[in-house]
Copies of this chain bind each other. A is one copy, B any other.
Amino acid sequence: MAGTDKGRSPVTGGPRVVLVDPQLGENIGMAARAMLNCGLTRLCLVRPRDGWPNPAAEAAAAGASEVLDGAAVYDATPDALAGCRRVYATTARPRDMVKPVLTPRAAAQDMRAAEGAGAATALLFGPERSGLTNDDLVLADRVIAVPLNPAFASLNLAQAVLIVGYEWFQAAHAGPSESLALGGGLPAERGELLNFLERLERALDGGNFFHPPEKRASMVRNLRNIFLRGDLTDTEVRTLHGVVSALLKARPDAVD
């Protein structure tokens, strides 16, 4: 894994994920799945307790085999970091060490900037129960602490990998934060929409809906606003025409 930053390409494939002394194969597998969800593929294992490869990891990876198959195994944490130029330790806030502490979001920006400059990055995760030792923690440039419910802040290993990977992915692939699924249709043409609204209003006049008369204008406005706010499609406008026709045909005592 060393020397992966030689190419100085703007995106290096993201940080390598270094799991130190991982215990359960299942957690390694779930971490691999979370990595691939976020487009991360380079997994490093330092002294995996149950050896490697591990069938329990395979079973839990839910198809993320390319991550497991490419995993590199090391005897010592510094070996796993060879070639890296920026290292982040994920842990609770260190108590007796001076380190910059970043949220996952700020760390993602920081990683992207480092990667953009051609510097390979790494994320260090400690074993499930005890977390990183001080000797490993001190190898990191920065600490990532996830802001969570202070009364219940302990994340499982795969979930910690997911949060940091998720932020890394968002930092580059932030498309529009909101969009509209149109179900294959097009937003309704304005004239068709008005045509429907006017038909509805005529029908409502027939049912004495708009009273008193001096309130008609504002009632029409409120009614139109209901339908205009919903981003109706062509098909839905036709559906609403059918609704009006059917209601006009229904017997008055059908439901009232």
A217 sits at the interface (CB 8 A)? no
In the bound complex, what is the Cα–Cα distance between A125 and B236 (angstroms)? 27
Interface 9-residue window, one of A68-76, A79-87, A178-186: A178-186
Residue contact A98 to B177, C-beta cutoff 8 Å: no
> Size range of the interface on A?
35 or more
A216 sits at the interface (CB 8 A)? no
| A256-B248 contact in complex given A183-B96, A223-B239, C-beta closer than 8 Å | yes
CB neighbours of A95 from chain B (8 A): 181, 183-184
**Contact among B156, B169, B175, B232 with A226 in the assembled complex (CB-CB below 8 Å):** B232
CB neighbours of A182 from chain B (8 A): 98
Chain A interface residues toward B at CB < 8 A: 30, 33-34, 36-39, 62-64, 93-103, 105-106, 143, 146-149, 152-156, 158-159, 162-163, 166, 169-170, 173-175, 177-185, 199-200, 202-209, 219, 222-223, 226-227, 229-233, 235-236, 239-240, 242-252, 254-256
Instruction: List 20 additional contacts besides A204-B243, A226-B236; criterion CB under 8 Å.
Output: A39-B148, A94-B183, A95-B183, A98-B182, A98-B231, A103-B174, A106-B177, A147-B174, A148-B169, A149-B169, A204-B246, A206-B249, A208-B246, A219-B239, A222-B235, A222-B239, A229-B230, A230-B230, A248-B250, A248-B254
